[in-house]
Structure 1
Amino acid sequence: MTEARGSTGAGRARYAPGTPCWVSLMVHGLEATQDFYRELFGWEFRPGPQQLGAYVRALLGGREVAGIGTLPPDRQLPVAWTPYLASDDVDATADLVRLCGGTIGVGPLDAAEAGRMAIGSDPAGAVFGIWQGAEHSGAAVSEMPGTPAWNELRTFDTVGVAKFYETVFGFEPVAAVSPDIDHVTLLVDGRPVAGIDGVGNALPRDRGPHWMTYFEVAEMERALERLAELGGQVLGAARDSEHGRVALVADPEGARFALVRRSG
């Protein structure tokens, strides 16, 4: 569970095209959601960009980690974490999404001087963002508790969807060498940056194909206890994996994400 990353801090390198560079959450109660993640991950918050409406950027040690915005009251959209994949030309990428059977639901549009964005979905319906950075290239800190550690697509099967992401974003897909596992790792410049997990009918009926963001924690059991105290839900018992200890959880509004305590 490694990821193509630049250096941390304000002077970090730009993300290579295709690399997950940001995660964003749209919710109904912005203040309550800020309180939850402030207590769980130690995040602080800064407003903006204004073009995105009621939107804040989460910070760790003054460096940007993620974004949280407010859903329009007249739209019944799922509350979910959405990864943004880096692009050098969001308009061209959006065109390619459409040509390859996906859809673009928002944008492309400018987010002030921060950059340019779009939100789309793949042919199976999983939602993702596209980000062309300007002043804001993406998350400025990683590999510490409270930061995104990994993004994985959970879908029916990997075959067609992996081809979509390969064509649109230039990923190199590497399939698991096992007849019992339907999993593809997506590489950028030879480095793993995300995964696709084909789970067939095991997908939740109320969710369908979706991206899952993993956030790093220092102590798994304590993090799960704190999450429950704050009104979140533990959806599955913590389990050991080749990457560390992992647990599926949800925040008080139902947004699902995973916690991971890395090995080593």
Structure 2
Amino acid sequence: MTEARGSAGPSGTTHKRHAPGTPCWVSLMVHAMAPTQDFYRALFGWDFRPGPQPLGPYVRALLDGYEVAGIGRLPLDRHLPIAWTPYLGSHDVDATAEQVRSCGGTVGVGPLDAAEAGRLAIACDPAGAVFGIWQAADHLGTGLTGVSGTPVWNELLTYDTAGVAKFYQTVFGYEEEPVVSPDFDYVTLHVDGRPVAGIHGVGHTLPRDRGAHWMTYFQVSDADKTAERAAELGGHIVRALCTTALGRMITVADPEGATFSVVSPLG
């Protein structure tokens, strides 16, 4: 099944349904929801709508009326990282979760129902990176991209691409396009011929306190100003400005330490 899209003209691209394997949602679990909402409201202009509550209090962030991300309160009995987590689409989350296990990954939460919104699981790949699996029902996922404050890319930072790329290819059926370079270990994952995510092997430069992890990139109009604003709001800059294929990129952290990257397109 291909991804159903609709044009929103200068306001970005709307999405009605995401193809299996596509990062279809990003979610953040934190200790203090109200201050976190205040941070992202001021940074990205998000509004918030409550629910669903499969794991406790949860809100969905809205931009121009479209759902773009989620924030929930970290359950006291769940040892999950405070991090932005991408959810990868699936027609059958139970079958995908079983495939994760059979390919050397683990499933830490679920599969379980998120009220009428859909069904989910939270898993780890063989290198320990956490990701979600989402089977849509009423909630189809991220509804708007291509404007400031919306997810633009998801990238796995891991030790090397060889083993873990095979895991994601087997579980989700991705087509792989490696970057041919002696000093840049990178694989782009494609669905229906379209790039949807990347895997970056960074070897020993991987942060020891985090290990392998997924990084969410949010589009902004000016990466420098957004990073400065994040610091003013109680966050901090993690990695200074660099230029990537996506644009000018800076990695920042919110007040609870969740890291993400902001990207302003070139040109």
TM over 0.5: yes
Q: Identify, as 1 or 2, the structure richer in strand.
A: 2
Please report how far the alpha carbon of residue 5 of structure 1 lies from its aligned counterpart in structure 2 after TM superposition.
Answer: 7.2
Cα deviation, residue 8, structure 1: 6.1
SS at match of 1:154: strand
Task: Specify whether residues 8 and 72 from structure 1 end up closer, same or farther in structure 2 by C-alpha distance, changes over 3 A only.
Answer: farther
Query: Would you say the 8 A contact 2:90–2:134 is kept in 1?
Result: yes
Amino acid at match of 2:51: G
Give 1:262's match in structure 2, choosing from 236, 246, 265: 265
Match of 1:162 among 165, 177, 195: 165
Q: Work out whether 1:54 is the aligned partner of 2:53.
A: no
Q: Distance in 2 between matches of 1:11 and 1:236?
A: 31
1:263: Cα distance to partner? 1.8
Amino acid across the alignment from 1:209: A
3-state SS in 2 of match to 1:77: coil
Matches within 5 A, 1:1-264: 6-7=5-6, 12-264=15-267
Cα distance, 1:77 vs. partner?
Answer: 3.1
Secondary structure of 1:73's aligned partner: coil
Aligned length, in residue pairs: 261
Measured against aligned partners, the alpha-carbon deviations of 1:178-204 in whole angstroms (never above 9, x if no partner) come to 121110000000110000000000000
Q: Which one-letter code corresponds to 2:220 in the other structure? A: V
Asked whether the 8 Å contact 1:217–1:259 carries over to 2, the reply is: yes
How far 1:78 sits from its partner (Å)? 1.9
Q: Note if contact 2:20-2:90 (Cα within 8 Å) is conserved in structure 1.
A: yes
Alpha-carbon distance in structure 2 between the residues aligned to 1:8 and 1:141: 10
RMSD: 1.5
Q: Distance in 1 between matches of 2:7 and 2:40?
A: 21
Uncovered stretches (5+) of structure 2, i.e. residues with no partner: none
Structure 1 distance, partners of 2:215, 2:151, is 10
Q: Give SS of 1:137's match.
A: coil
TM-score scaled to structure 1, two decimals?
Answer: 0.95
Deviation beyond 4 Å, 4+ runs, structure 1: 8-11
| Unmatched segments (≥5 aa) in structure 1 | none
Q: Which moved more, 1:8-17 or 1:204-213?
A: 8-17
Instruction: Write the distance in 1 (CA, Å) between the matches of 2:32 and 2:99.
Output: 34
How far 1:174 moved relative to its partner? 0.9
Residue 7 (structure 1) shift: 2.6
Deviation of 1:221 (Å)? 1.8
What is the TM-score with the length of structure 2 in the denominator?
A: 0.94
Q: Is the 8 A contact 1:8 1:141 kept in 2?
A: no
Other structure's SS at 2:54 match: helix
Q: Deviations over 1:99-147 (max 9, x none)?
A: 0000000000011111100000000000000000011110001110000
Deviation of 1:11 after TM superposition, in Å, equals: 7.8
